[in-house]
Amino acid sequence: MKSFVIVSIIVILTLLLAPLMSSCQPEPTQLPPTPTSTPMLTPTPTPSLTSTPAATELEVHFIDVGQGDAILFDLQDIEVLIDGGDRTSGVVSYLKGYVDGALEVMIATHPHADHIGGLIDVLAAFEVKQIWHNGDTATSKTYSDFMSAVNAEKAKVSVATGGNVIEADGLSFKVLNPANLKESTNNNSIVLHLAFGEIDFLFTGDAEREAEGVMLIASDMPVPDVEILKVGHHGSKTASSADFLAVTSPEVAIYMAGGGNTYGHPHEETIQALLAVGAEIFGTDAHSNIVITTDGEKYELQLETTAPTPTPTPTPTLTPTPTPTPEKVANVQITRIFYDGLVKSVESDEYVEITNLGTGSVDLAGWVLKDISEGYSTFIFPSYVLQPGKSVRVYTNEIHPEYGGFSFGSGKAVWNNTDPDMAALYNAQGQEVSRKSY
Ligand SMILES: [Zn+2]
């Protein structure tokens, strides 16, 4: 069993005060807490046991699996798991401290390796009674191994779509997304609303702005105002639109990301957007395992690591960036366009590899990678220093955090679709520096 330090008790206002609260917008003049300067929570002097202990308490564990998602619900002897991190997540050893007998429900939000990879070991270690996935497919070995494990399990297997309700004694998850499957794997993520008494949670998988927009206009399933939001797509700016955050209006926002991940998650834009709606922000990169305990009226937040990290700003942007000279810039080349339909045993679907063949480091901020055959697929690099002799990958379909790199965000193969196909790389001044055909 893990021992946690309770660093804060957030008492939900009584029902008398609740309507008053919900009608209030965050004070625009009140400066949000800076996540960098002080710990966001201070120990409360109020004893935690002033109210009558509830008969039934729910624990929601946001498990630190590095760059990936894994969320465990523990309600007495009922356990539900959303995602399992990647294959190296080690989630099984964490679950062993909490799962009594079988796991009632396993939910795979979408078939990316940082969500389903760890579920393969979970299926081997535990009996699972119900399995829900989104019906989307992937070409990776992780996905085929996962589906083999699902099929080998004697579980009830269901595909979740908007309007479904996933039931596990006492826990009822309403499915808000996907309405129907689209090309973008992330946007097909299963999004779940859990209401436990007065406390509302929203779990968004890797749903991005596109899915948020679809959910916001679905009148039959309104997006709820919640106390706790699992921030979409590891805190990427591709998710967490202002409109979506305004409606969900979370008190507590939890993103799940690995420390120093190469995507720069969580993005500063997301942090600012969450602060703008008055959310307190916590991340598994900074706080490791995060547990919320609720009796349905109030909730407590427990952090395994109380020391705040220096900043939620991604490491790459903090790296001192030497000014590249034109001579060095010319040495950054597209060295590979890789597609795994040709190499069966390798997991990565498709990526472009960019290598610094020069002798000085180069900051790729503002550099652009383009599929010029199609003319519309474009990736713009954030600040990222590519050291001499090093390579960085830009994935177009499945993302593999274990190898590092960036995501094109297209959710599909970009280069392996037309013939011939061409990738071009432009520097921050818009000059083409490299071109390679697939
Ligand atoms: Zn993910």
Rounded to the nearest whole angstrom, what is the distance from the C-alpha of residue 22 to the centroid of ligand 1?
31
The pLDDT of residue 402 is 61
The pLDDT of residue 7 is 46
Rounded to the nearest whole angstrom, what is the distance from the C-alpha of residue 207 to the centroid of ligand 1?
9
In whole angstroms, give the CA distance from residue 408 to residue 411. Answer: 8
Rounded to the nearest whole angstrom, what is the distance from the C-alpha of residue 24 to the centroid of ligand 1?
33
In whole angstroms, give the CA distance from residue 110 to residue 94. Answer: 22
The pLDDT of residue 240 is 98
Whether a cis peptide bond, with omega within 30° of 0, leads into 322 is no
In whole angstroms, give the CA distance from residue 402 to residue 79. Answer: 28
Rounded to the nearest whole angstrom, what is the distance from the C-alpha of residue 234 to the centroid of ligand 1?
6
Q: Which two tokens stand for residue 159?
A: 């595909």
- From the list 114, 176, 120, the residue with the least C-alpha distance to 144 is 120
Rounded to the nearest whole angstrom, what is the distance from the C-alpha of residue 246 to the centroid of ligand 1?
23
Q: What is the pLDDT along the chain (438 residues), one digit of tens a residue?
A: 444 545 444 444 333 334 433 333 333 334 444 444 434 444 444 444 434 444 589 999 999 999 999 999 999 999 999 999 999 999 999 999 999 899 999 999 999 999 999 999 999 999 999 999 999 999 999 999 999 999 999 999 999 999 999 999 989 999 999 999 999 999 999 999 999 999 999 999 999 999 999 999 998 899 999 999 999 999 999 999 999 999 999 999 999 999 999 999 999 999 999 999 999 999 999 999 999 999 999 999 999 876 454 444 444 444 444 444 443 345 888 887 776 654 444 455 677 888 888 888 888 888 888 877 655 567 888 888 888 888 888 877 666 666 667 877 666 666 666 555 678 888 887 777 888 776
Rounded to the nearest whole angstrom, what is the distance from the C-alpha of residue 233 to the centroid of ligand 1?
6
Q: Which two tokens stand for residue 378?
A: 């474009």
Contact 192, 185 (CB under 8 A): no
Rounded to the nearest whole angstrom, what is the distance from the C-alpha of residue 420 to the centroid of ligand 1?
31
Q: H or E segment at 275?
A: helix 268-276
Rounded to the nearest whole angstrom, what is the distance from the C-alpha of residue 378 to the centroid of ligand 1?
21
In whole angstroms, give the CA distance from residue 136 to residue 183. Answer: 9
Rounded to the nearest whole angstrom, what is the distance from the C-alpha of residue 191 to the centroid of ligand 1?
13
Rounded to whole angstroms, what are the CA distances from 31 to 44, 272, 275, 384, 396?
Answer: 21, 12, 9, 30, 39
The pLDDT of residue 311 is 46
Rounded to the nearest whole angstrom, what is the distance from the C-alpha of residue 114 to the centroid of ligand 1?
5
Q: Which residues surround ligand 1, an ion (CB under 5 A)?
A: 114, 206
| Residues linked to residue 75 through DSSP beta bridges, in sequence order | 58, 78
Entry pTM: 0.63
